[in-house]
Amino acid sequence: MGLENTAPYVIAGDQDGGRDILPWNLPPDGPHTFTVTGYFNDSTTGTADTPLTLKFTVRR
């Protein structure tokens, strides 16, 4: 996971100006928490917005 300053906003990143979205490998089985925080300026500067948290469970 990384920092995204422009769309598309994707978990594993992209290449070629967003035309090639990279695959994301699922984490191991079990519960996980994913939290994202938007900022009002690029590169995590400026005021942070309210974080959004997603809790999920991987079962294969």
Does the pTM surpass 0.85? The reply is no
Strands of the chain, DSSP E: 14-15, 20-21, 30-36, 39-41, 45-48, 52-58
Measured CA to CA, the distance from residue 28 to residue 32 in angstroms comes to 9
- 25-56 pLDDT, tens per residue? 989 999 999 999 989 898 888 999 999 999 99
Structural domain spans, the chain:
25-58
To the nearest whole percent, how much of the chain has pLDDT over 70? 98
